């Protein structure tokens, strides 16, 4: 069985602060895929990033960056200079090698205050 | 823009009165999913279609059914909604090359 843990259920920051959302996963597959989704108050799950298990390069997209560390089974997400519009629930998810099981973490609610 | 569309965005039904939620996609993806998401929880997979092949999760109640008449449309039927079925229902499609799932805006179901 596979599992995704997002230990932080809720984080509150003030605008312009940097914030890191943690994600730790468990799987027996040697090939797998990791995702981050953003769910704003409107409810839609917005795809942010996909990472396969063989690619440990960190990725940066604007104010967003992701740190994948296979040795610690972690895939952390950092928002630099946070903005009020970043307020949302963020889900980390793990897709198995067969591609038929997407397991979500419990989500982290991020509140960015002006 | 190509996308996943869900109608209606908000649905109110009465206890025991059948309700149908709809999802359509313009992405031409061959896999479609239905998830149930209750407040402050992660989405829970109900079932999915690979083309017309239906795959039911083991713990999905019999009260939930689905239909996929063609590639573009998928429906979720709740035969006798209970108060515990009040939730956000999310439809998603899967892109074949990267296996990334793309979600619709969801339908928030209220059961009175």
Residues of B in contact with A50 (CB under 8 A): 98-100
Chain B residues whose beta carbon lies within 8 Å of the beta carbon of residue A46: 103
What is the model's pLDDT at position B88?
Answer: 96
According to the model, what pLDDT value does residue B1 have? 62
A102 forms beta bridges with A95
Six-digit token string for B100: 């990334």
Per-residue pLDDT of chain B (112 residues), as tens digits, is 669 999 899 999 999 999 999 999 999 999 999 999 999 899 999 999 998 889 888 899 999 999 999 999 999 999 999 999 999 999 999 988 888 999 999 999 999 9
pLDDT confidence bin for A55, thresholds 50/70/90? confident
pLDDT in tens, A10-52: 999 999 999 999 999 999 999 999 999 999 998 899 999 999 9
Could you list the beta-strand ranges (E) of chain B: 4-7, 10-13, 19-25, 31-37, 44-50, 53-56, 64-67, 73-78, 87-94, 101-103, 107-111
* pLDDT the model gives residue B34: 96
Tokens of B71: 């590639």
Each residue of A67-110: pLDDT tens digit? Answer: 999 999 999 999 999 999 999 999 999 999 888 889 999 999 99
Is A36 in the B-facing interface, judged by CB distances under 8 Å?
Answer: no
pLDDT of residue A1: 82
Of B55, B99, B108, the CB nearest to A33: B99
Spacing of C-alpha B16 from chain mean position: 19
DSSP A42-85: T-PPEEEEEEETT----EEETTEEEEEEGGGTEEEEEESS--GG
Q: Which of B45, B88, B100 sits opposite A47 (nearest CB)?
A: B100
Q: Which of B45, B102, B104 sits opposite A47 (nearest CB)?
A: B102
- What's the confidence (pLDDT) of residue B2? 60
Q: Flag if B105 and A44 touch (Cβ within 8 Å).
A: yes
For residue B77, the SS3 value is strand
| Residues in chain A closer than 8 A to B108 (CB atoms) | 43
């Amino acid at each position: 069985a596979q599992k995704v843990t997002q230990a932080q259920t809720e984080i509150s920051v003030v605008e312009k602060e940097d914030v890191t959302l943690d994600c730790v996963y468990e799987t027996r597959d040697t090939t797998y895929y990791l995702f981050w989704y953003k769910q704003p108050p409107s409810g839609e799950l917005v795809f942010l990033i996909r990472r396969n298990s063989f690619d440990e390069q960190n990725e940066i997209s604007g104010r967003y960056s992701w740190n994948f560390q296979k040795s610690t089974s972690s895939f952390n997400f950092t928002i630099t200079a946070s903005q009020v519009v970043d307020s949302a629930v963020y889900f980390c998810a793990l897709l198995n090698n067969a591609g038929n099981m997407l397991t979500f973490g419990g989500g982290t609610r991020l509140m960015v205050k002006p | 823009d190509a996308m996943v569309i869900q109608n209606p965005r908000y649905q109110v039904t009465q206890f025991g009165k059948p309700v149908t939620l709809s999802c359509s996609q313009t992405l031409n993806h061959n896999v479609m999913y239905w998830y149930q998401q209750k407040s402050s929880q992660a989405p829970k997979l109900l079932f999915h279609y690979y083309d017309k092949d239906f795959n039911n999760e083991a713990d999905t109640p019999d009260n939930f059914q689905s239909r996929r008449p063609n590639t573009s449309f998928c429906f979720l039927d709740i035969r006798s909604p209970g108060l515990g079925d009040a939730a956000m229902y999310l439809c998603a499609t899967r892109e074949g090359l990267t296996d990334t799932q793309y979600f619709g805006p969801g339908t928030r179901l209220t059961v009175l």
